[in-house]
Amino acid sequence: MPAIASSKSYRVGRSKTGLGLFATMPIKKGTRIIRYFGPILDSRIPAHDEIENKYLFELNNRWTIDGSVRKNLARYINHSCRPNAESDVRPRERKVFIRAIRNIEPGDEINYDYGTDYFKAYLKPIGCKCPSCEAKRKKLRAEARAERTKVKARTEAKAKKAGKKKLNGHAVGKKNGRARA
Protein backbone atom coordinates (compact mmCIF):
# COMPACT_ATOMS: atom_id res chain seq x y z
CA MET A 1 0.00 0.00 0.00
CA PRO A 2 1.44 3.41 -0.94
CA ALA A 3 2.38 5.91 1.70
CA ILE A 4 -0.12 8.69 2.38
CA ALA A 5 1.12 12.28 2.39
CA SER A 6 0.61 14.28 5.57
CA SER A 7 -2.24 16.78 5.56
CA LYS A 8 0.27 19.64 5.63
CA SER A 9 2.10 18.49 2.47
CA TYR A 10 0.12 20.81 0.15
CA ARG A 11 -1.54 24.20 0.02
CA VAL A 12 -3.81 26.09 -2.37
CA GLY A 13 -2.03 28.95 -4.10
CA ARG A 14 -2.00 31.24 -7.12
CA SER A 15 -1.07 29.49 -10.38
CA LYS A 16 -0.68 30.66 -14.00
CA THR A 17 -4.09 29.18 -14.72
CA GLY A 18 -5.88 30.47 -11.62
CA LEU A 19 -5.66 28.55 -8.36
CA GLY A 20 -3.52 25.45 -7.99
CA LEU A 21 -2.34 22.93 -5.40
CA PHE A 22 1.32 23.27 -4.37
CA ALA A 23 3.60 21.00 -2.36
CA THR A 24 4.78 22.41 0.99
CA MET A 25 7.18 19.56 1.73
CA PRO A 26 8.88 16.88 -0.38
CA ILE A 27 6.50 14.22 -1.69
CA LYS A 28 8.06 10.92 -2.75
CA LYS A 29 7.17 9.06 -5.92
CA GLY A 30 4.26 6.65 -5.32
CA THR A 31 2.83 8.59 -2.37
CA ARG A 32 -0.92 9.22 -2.22
CA ILE A 33 -1.25 12.97 -2.06
CA ILE A 34 -4.98 13.62 -1.75
CA ARG A 35 -8.39 12.07 -2.38
CA TYR A 36 -10.74 13.60 -4.96
CA PHE A 37 -14.21 13.43 -3.44
CA GLY A 38 -17.74 14.77 -3.62
CA PRO A 39 -21.28 13.55 -4.27
CA ILE A 40 -21.52 10.55 -6.60
CA LEU A 41 -23.70 11.21 -9.66
CA ASP A 42 -25.46 8.50 -11.67
CA SER A 43 -25.58 9.19 -15.43
CA ARG A 44 -28.82 7.16 -15.70
CA ILE A 45 -30.61 9.91 -13.77
CA PRO A 46 -31.34 12.72 -16.28
CA ALA A 47 -30.97 15.48 -13.65
CA HIS A 48 -27.47 14.23 -12.78
CA ASP A 49 -26.47 13.93 -16.42
CA GLU A 50 -27.31 17.59 -17.07
CA ILE A 51 -25.02 19.00 -14.34
CA GLU A 52 -22.33 21.17 -15.90
CA ASN A 53 -19.30 22.24 -13.90
CA LYS A 54 -15.59 21.92 -14.39
CA TYR A 55 -15.02 19.74 -11.31
CA LEU A 56 -16.70 16.56 -12.59
CA PHE A 57 -14.47 13.48 -12.44
CA GLU A 58 -15.80 10.56 -14.46
CA LEU A 59 -15.19 7.17 -12.81
CA ASN A 60 -16.74 5.17 -15.65
CA ASN A 61 -19.65 5.48 -18.10
CA ARG A 62 -22.17 5.44 -15.27
CA TRP A 63 -20.60 7.09 -12.19
CA THR A 64 -19.16 10.60 -11.86
CA ILE A 65 -17.83 12.48 -8.84
CA ASP A 66 -19.01 16.09 -8.47
CA GLY A 67 -15.87 17.61 -6.94
CA SER A 68 -17.27 21.13 -6.59
CA VAL A 69 -17.68 20.84 -2.79
CA ARG A 70 -15.50 23.39 -0.97
CA LYS A 71 -13.71 20.79 1.18
CA ASN A 72 -12.41 18.98 -1.92
CA LEU A 73 -8.98 20.62 -2.26
CA ALA A 74 -8.06 18.11 -5.00
CA ARG A 75 -10.24 20.15 -7.37
CA TYR A 76 -7.46 22.76 -7.46
CA ILE A 77 -5.00 20.36 -9.10
CA ASN A 78 -4.42 21.63 -12.64
CA HIS A 79 -3.78 19.82 -15.91
CA SER A 80 -0.31 19.25 -17.33
CA CYS A 81 0.81 17.38 -20.41
CA ARG A 82 3.92 16.38 -18.40
CA PRO A 83 2.41 15.76 -14.96
CA ASN A 84 4.07 14.92 -11.66
CA ALA A 85 1.00 13.03 -10.38
CA GLU A 86 -1.73 10.78 -11.71
CA SER A 87 -5.24 9.79 -10.75
CA ASP A 88 -5.72 6.38 -9.20
CA VAL A 89 -9.36 5.63 -10.10
CA ARG A 90 -11.21 2.90 -8.22
CA PRO A 91 -14.66 2.69 -9.83
CA ARG A 92 -15.91 -0.22 -7.72
CA GLU A 93 -15.13 1.70 -4.52
CA ARG A 94 -16.19 4.96 -6.20
CA LYS A 95 -12.99 6.64 -5.06
CA VAL A 96 -10.20 8.59 -6.73
CA PHE A 97 -6.78 9.24 -5.22
CA ILE A 98 -4.12 11.50 -6.65
CA ARG A 99 -0.72 9.82 -6.46
CA ALA A 100 2.79 11.19 -7.17
CA ILE A 101 4.50 9.63 -10.20
CA ARG A 102 7.70 11.62 -9.62
CA ASN A 103 9.35 13.14 -6.59
CA ILE A 104 7.73 16.52 -5.96
CA GLU A 105 9.74 19.29 -4.33
CA PRO A 106 8.34 21.98 -2.01
CA GLY A 107 6.89 24.85 -4.06
CA ASP A 108 6.17 22.64 -7.11
CA GLU A 109 2.63 22.72 -8.42
CA ILE A 110 0.90 19.34 -8.24
CA ASN A 111 -0.69 18.46 -11.59
CA TYR A 112 -1.96 15.50 -13.59
CA ASP A 113 -3.18 14.78 -17.12
CA TYR A 114 -6.95 15.29 -17.33
CA GLY A 115 -7.30 12.91 -20.27
CA THR A 116 -8.05 13.20 -23.98
CA ASP A 117 -11.80 13.87 -23.76
CA TYR A 118 -11.47 16.76 -21.29
CA PHE A 119 -8.47 18.15 -23.19
CA LYS A 120 -10.31 18.18 -26.52
CA ALA A 121 -13.50 19.63 -25.03
CA TYR A 122 -12.12 22.34 -22.74
CA LEU A 123 -8.37 22.92 -23.07
CA LYS A 124 -7.59 22.64 -26.77
CA PRO A 125 -9.93 25.49 -27.86
CA ILE A 126 -8.22 27.97 -25.50
CA GLY A 127 -4.76 26.42 -25.61
CA CYS A 128 -3.14 24.32 -22.91
CA LYS A 129 -1.43 26.49 -20.27
CA CYS A 130 0.77 23.80 -18.74
CA PRO A 131 4.51 24.59 -18.51
CA SER A 132 5.52 22.10 -21.22
CA CYS A 133 3.00 23.49 -23.74
CA GLU A 134 3.91 27.09 -22.81
CA ALA A 135 7.61 26.29 -23.42
CA LYS A 136 6.74 24.63 -26.75
CA ARG A 137 4.71 27.69 -27.86
CA LYS A 138 7.48 30.05 -26.70
CA LYS A 139 10.04 28.10 -28.75
CA LEU A 140 7.77 28.14 -31.84
CA ARG A 141 7.23 31.91 -31.47
CA ALA A 142 11.00 32.48 -31.19
CA GLU A 143 11.61 30.37 -34.30
CA ALA A 144 8.90 32.29 -36.20
CA ARG A 145 10.45 35.63 -35.14
CA ALA A 146 13.89 34.45 -36.28
CA GLU A 147 12.45 33.35 -39.64
CA ARG A 148 10.67 36.71 -40.11
CA THR A 149 13.94 38.51 -39.31
CA LYS A 150 15.80 36.42 -41.93
CA VAL A 151 13.15 37.10 -44.56
CA LYS A 152 13.19 40.83 -43.78
CA ALA A 153 17.01 40.94 -44.00
CA ARG A 154 16.89 39.13 -47.36
CA THR A 155 14.28 41.50 -48.82
CA GLU A 156 16.24 44.54 -47.55
CA ALA A 157 19.43 43.16 -49.12
CA LYS A 158 17.60 42.61 -52.43
CA ALA A 159 16.16 46.13 -52.30
CA LYS A 160 19.61 47.56 -51.57
CA LYS A 161 21.09 45.69 -54.55
CA ALA A 162 18.27 46.90 -56.77
CA GLY A 163 18.79 50.48 -55.51
CA LYS A 164 22.54 50.39 -56.31
CA LYS A 165 21.82 49.35 -59.91
CA LYS A 166 19.53 52.38 -60.41
CA LEU A 167 22.10 54.80 -59.01
CA ASN A 168 24.90 53.42 -61.16
CA GLY A 169 26.63 56.18 -63.15
CA HIS A 170 25.34 59.13 -61.10
CA ALA A 171 27.56 61.33 -58.97
CA VAL A 172 27.23 60.84 -55.23
CA GLY A 173 26.95 64.55 -54.41
CA LYS A 174 23.95 65.23 -56.66
CA LYS A 175 20.53 65.90 -55.15
CA ASN A 176 17.36 65.86 -57.26
CA GLY A 177 19.40 65.78 -60.44
CA ARG A 178 21.26 69.04 -59.62
CA ALA A 179 24.85 69.51 -58.58
CA ARG A 180 25.46 71.10 -55.18
CA ALA A 181 27.18 74.45 -54.99
- What does the pLDDT profile of the chain (181 residues) look like in tens digits? 566 666 678 999 998 888 999 999 999 999 999 999 999 998 888 887 777 788 889 898 889 999 999 999 999 999 888 899 999 999 889 999 999 999 999 999 999 998 888 778 777 777 777 777 888 888 989 999 999 999 999 988 888 888 765 555 555 554 555 555 5
Half-sphere exposure of 113 toward its Cβ, with a 13 Å CA cutoff? 10
User: What Å distances lie between residue 89 and 35, 39, 86, 169, CA to CA?
Assistant: 10, 15, 9, 82
CA distance 38 to 72: 7
Residues near 11 by beta carbon (within 8 Å), at least 6 away in sequence: 21, 22, 24
pLDDT at 120: 80
pLDDT at 177: 55
pTM above 0.85, yes or no: no
| Strands 78-79, 109-112: pairing kind | parallel
pLDDT at 112: 92
CB 40 within 8 A of CB 94: yes
The DSSP result for 143-178, as a single string, is HHHHHHHHHHHHHHHHHHHHHHHHHTTS-TT-BTTB
What are the two backbone dihedrals, phi and then psi, of residue 120, each rounded to the nearest 5 degrees?
-65, -40
